Chain A
């Protein structure tokens, strides 16, 4: 009798041995005539329905497939989109957009003013509905904050939009124009609620008007786009664009190094530094359109609020703390230098709008101590300062578990300790933190049981959304989480929304930044950089948006994709560094000038890993051999 084991094992082994080389050879022979741009992202590709957009990746997907009414060029200036020209009435309340003639959707249907009207009217209907929002609720505010009242099409194919107040914000509205013949088949509920019966997921092939449209989607994993044959402009050079989600940034970076990806969004700081020295790879460090902050519970001990000390309510106290934060050290040590120390709540990404405050709080522990003494917070016997109720000040510091701020917290704890302020630092689960933050105005049962915390905000091409977070009416919405309330700020916000002259608007925006900075309700810690990397041996023409401070892709609109060139088609004239390319822009770019120490980590880690494995194998093997020898000898 033969054992069943052997009978089965032999053919299986034989099959595997035969199969392996076949697979390797077959897989190795890649037949790819199409020029495919492959983009890796750390964010998941979960939706093709623009109204469900939340992440940068979501926004990027609809930005490529659909036109905005007015788009953004590489300098973030308004550029032709669904409309090819636009004008505004003298009172800036009637806005006329001329819709480009002869446009077609990717399915061949004509794209007209009716589609634009449908889309904007849909938003108006949503805003007027019981829900008040659609999908994730991120897009409607672009039109509501512009005061949009009505839209209609005239006989000449112009979209006429009327706003309740003078505004320039309509050209900044980040709302994709959707094909009416597709979307009007679905109700607001079917578009909004992904769990509803008959939900419209906008599955591929997506009908769009942008340069590319999705033809294949593996939810959460990848999206493949092909050229839209009916795109009105000059077609892009890549035949296809493939977006791929990565769970591990390490793997994503390896895929870029091996040439399987052409662009990656969201590398870590050390990988970024290592990639900077690799051949055929260029890195781009852009200002992030956002900031990381410390927020204070400024109504700490007021009725219904759960802060631990009345000192938090005192502007002088919070102001003094601002001198005990070494923002440069945080940037250097926490961000590996990939960021800019923070001041106001409009980040320098907004080159035209950011201002430095008149009276910046620079790191100076003596000054912090002096200010605390002057404000009446004397030290107790144990060196700890006491508040005006005679209670020692120990502040609770927290941050959401979705972001790692433990290093920031340690630094802040250390500095505050030196000025006599105790800090209890602990992370909070993100959902729990969102529950913790709001005060009683938000809803029954909320009592803002916290002292100060860290998180971040992100913005739009226009600073309007970042400015609007801190108006008084945002307190009951749980957005204005430091409970900042200043009638002058509220007034200025309305004024800046309605200002039609940029110089005037800038005055308002400047004053708002200074007011909010002075209130010391938030301490902006830093503006952390966007870290992207791309290969230069397949595509050239990578251009930052905007050129001095941005990154090539995942910006606003799609200009970055349209400027790409086929590297093999470009005549070789030295290194393919075409004009204003990524990562090496002069001036205000926070790009590292040279490879810092510790670069080459990618190579180092390979060597280290292999070395470690060899060492383990040798030591382990030797040890076993030695241990095994004796009993083995005895047995012979």
Chain B
């Protein structure tokens, strides 16, 4: 991979992030309503002076440009995303960090399971195209792919939590439970994780399997596969060493893009299982017009996507010599 290629990718990612930061500022200043009224709510006995003091306290009394804009850029660069209205003035960075872990756990694991299962299923379906597993697998993949998360999640919740009582309905752990050891605690979290994780994995598995299947099918008509077979390699060997590595390229793109969204999570899964992650936070920030938090979430999400794309580009460079320049 040439240095020039690397430098170009990095520069373009940096510019994108800067543009996002600027867009973020503009977008949230265009929202209706004034933040200080939201801050104060409908407090009886609030005088104009108090409103003015609030504006000053939150820096809303200065002109949007350049004062507020410059202050915003400087603060963002230092990782200071302001204070959350909804969390009564806690720093947005704290709020985001608190929620980031659970989301990464849920979606990191969910992606991993979906990738492994999806790619394996897709590869096998494509390989045995027209077989029983292909029909079942492909049909199931399409159904799962097209089922909204909240529906899938609610169904799992109603069946396995409320109905059968096998799993808890909500949260990441049992609040107030005294653990006998770290293993006990991990087990409790795993127990709470099961249903949301199943929802995420099932929801994503279809995408990967469908993509991998068609990619394999395409690869199979390539000359080098015929050559491999002509060399007398076993079918399994042809699949593993010749078909799959070549068919993986589009999957890498999809994985990279999806990894970017890991941060955003599937908002609805988190809400259904009351999972204390960024998705739940986003819904709540939206409904309480917590603009600083929303702004932080947007920033985190878009930076995540940009970085994931950067990783995809770089991985491409390694995997496919044709894009190295």
Contacts and interface: CB of A to CB of B under 8 A. Distances in A.
Contact of B44 (A30, A221, A240, A468): A468
Interface string A232-256: 0000000010101011101110110
A463 to B, nearest CB: 14
B60 interface: no
Interface in B157-177: 157-159, 161-163, 165-171, 174-177
Given A26-B184, A429-B289, A432-B33, A133 B176 contact: no
B44 A434 contact: no
A610 B192 CA distance: 22
B240 A3 contact: yes
A431 B38 contact: yes
B53 A46 contact: no
B29 interface: no
Contacts of A250: 154, 272
Nearest to B47: A477
Interface in A577-613: 605-606, 609-610, 612-613
A383 interface: no
A252 B194 CA distance: 18
A620 B142 CA distance: 8
B187 A26 contact: yes
A469 B46 CA distance: 12
B83 A195 contact: yes
A360 interface: no
Query: Nearest 6 CB-CB pairs, A to B?
Result: A431-B33, A27-B191, A194-B89, A632-B130, A26-B187, A432-B33
A429 B33 contact: yes
A405 interface: no
Interface stretch (A16-24, A152-160, A490-498): A16-24
Interface string B30-60: 0111110110111111111011010001100
B37 A431 contact: yes
Contact of A621 (B34, B35, B143, B162): B143
B158 A138 contact: no
Nearest to A135: B88
Nearest to B158: A606
Contact of B86 (A13, A36, A44, A465): A44
A434 B191 contact: no
A617 B143 CA distance: 7
Contacts of A435: 33-34, 37
Interface stretch (A175-183, A308-316, A325-333, A623-631): A623-631
A606 B159 CA distance: 8
Contacts of B136: 621
Interface in A7-63: 9, 12-13, 16, 19-20, 22-24, 26-28, 30-32, 34, 36, 44, 46-47, 52, 54
Contact of A628 (B130, B166, B174, B280): B130
Given A13-B116, A222-B175, A477-B45, A628 B140 contact: no
Contacts of B139: 620-621, 624-625
A86 interface: no
B2 interface: no
Given A46-B88, A434-B37, 11 more contacts: A5-B240, A22-B187, A44-B86, A195-B83, A244-B170, A251-B170, A258-B165, A431-B32, A431-B33, A606-B163, A609-B158
A218 B169 contact: no
Contacts of B41: 54, 136
B83 A137 contact: no
A635 interface: yes
A252 B51 CA distance: 37
Interface residues of A, number: 97
Given A133-B45, A258-B165, A443 B51 contact: yes
B76 interface: no
A302 interface: no
A199 interface: yes
B169 A260 contact: yes
Interface in A131-149: 131-133, 136-138, 141
Given A28-B191, A255-B169, A478-B46, A1 B176 contact: no
28 contacts: A9-B116, A16-B113, A22-B187, A26-B187, A27-B192, A28-B166, A47-B88, A132-B50, A137-B45, A195-B89, A240-B176, A247-B270, A247-B271, A247-B284, A251-B271, A251-B274, A254-B161, A255-B169, A258-B169, A432-B33, A468-B44, A476-B47, A478-B46, A479-B45, A609-B151, A609-B154, A610-B158, A617-B140
Contact of B43 (A1, A12, A133): A133
Interface of A: 1-3, 5-6, 9, 12-13, 16, 19-20, 22-24, 26-28, 30-32, 34, 36, 44, 46-47, 52, 54, 131-133, 136-138, 141, 193-195, 199, 216, 218-222, 224, 240, 242, 244, 246-248, 250-252, 254-255, 257-260, 402, 428-435, 442-443, 465, 468-469, 474, 476-479, 605-606, 609-610, 612-613, 616-617, 620-621, 624-625, 628, 631-633, 635-636
Contacts of A13: 116
A353 B316 CA distance: 75
A632 B217 CA distance: 13
Nearest to A248: B271
A605 B286 CA distance: 27
B305 interface: no
A54 B47 CA distance: 18
Given A219-B87, A632-B129, A195 B157 contact: no
Nearest to A19: B190
Nearest to B283: A247
Given A23-B187, A136-B41, A624-B138, A219 B90 contact: yes
A616 B145 CA distance: 12
Given A216-B175, A218-B276, A224-B176, A434 B42 contact: yes
A562 to B, nearest CB: 20
Contacts of B188: 26-27
Interface string B62-104: 0000000000000000000001001111100001001000000
B274 A246 contact: yes
Interface in B270-311: 270-274, 276, 280-281, 283-284, 287, 289
Contacts of B119: 5
Given A3-B245, A27-B190, A12 B158 contact: no
| Highest count of chain B CB atoms <10 Å: which of A19, A36, A624 | A624
A500 to B, nearest CB: 24
B227 interface: no
A36 B158 contact: no
Interface string B14-33: 00000000000000000111
A234 to B, nearest CB: 23
B315 interface: no
B280 A247 contact: yes
Contact of A193 (B89, B95, B134, B276): B89
B244 interface: yes
A432 B289 CA distance: 11
A27 B167 CA distance: 8
A47 B187 CA distance: 30
B105 to A, nearest CB: 14
A32 B248 CA distance: 49
B175 to A, nearest CB: 5
Contacts of A2: 240
Contacts of A19: 190
A22 B88 CA distance: 41
B12 interface: no
Contacts of B176: 34, 36, 216, 224, 240, 242
A468 B44 CA distance: 9
